[in-house]
């Protein structure tokens, strides 16, 4: 049986790995995320995730992409509230979704 939580975590990491690759090719993606984070901070300035994302999107790209690829607990928590929603087209999201599922099914 596939652990749905582990599957969701793996999908999130895979989605954000795609975002990291796209950022390396087009840094303007960060501008979209930065605007979203600023909106979060202007409406709800207290959430720690918003402050953490603000530091990442305002910092060096290397630090941001490293955080997107990090499988540590803090990075996993941050990815649950990602400012990169919409950075990946639907076709790519579904491809990643299917690939991660297939990888999990192969491990059974």
pLDDT tens figures, 24-78:
889 899 999 999 999 999 988 678 889 999 999 999 999 999 999 999 999 999 9
Looking at the structure of the chain, the number of domains it has is 1
- Give mean pLDDT, residues 88-105: 93
- The domain in which residue 93 lies consists of 4-106
The per-residue DSSP string of 44-84 comes to: ----HHHHHHHHHHHS-HHHHHHHHH--SHHHHHHHTT-TT
pTM higher than the cut 0.85: yes
């Amino acid at each position: 049986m596939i652990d749905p939580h582990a599957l969701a975590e793996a999908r999130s990491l895979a989605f954000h790995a795609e975002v990291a690759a796209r950022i390396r090719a087009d840094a303007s993606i960060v501008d979209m995320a930065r605007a979203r984070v600023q909106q979060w901070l202007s409406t709800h300035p207290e959430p720690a995730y918003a402050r953490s994302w603000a530091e990442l999107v305002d910092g060096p790209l290397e630090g941001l992409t490293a955080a997107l690829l990090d499988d540590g607990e803090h990075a996993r928590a941050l990815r649950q509230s990602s400012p990169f929603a919409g950075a990946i087209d639907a076709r790519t999201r579904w491809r990643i979704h299917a690939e991660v599922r297939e990888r999990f099914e192969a491990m059974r």
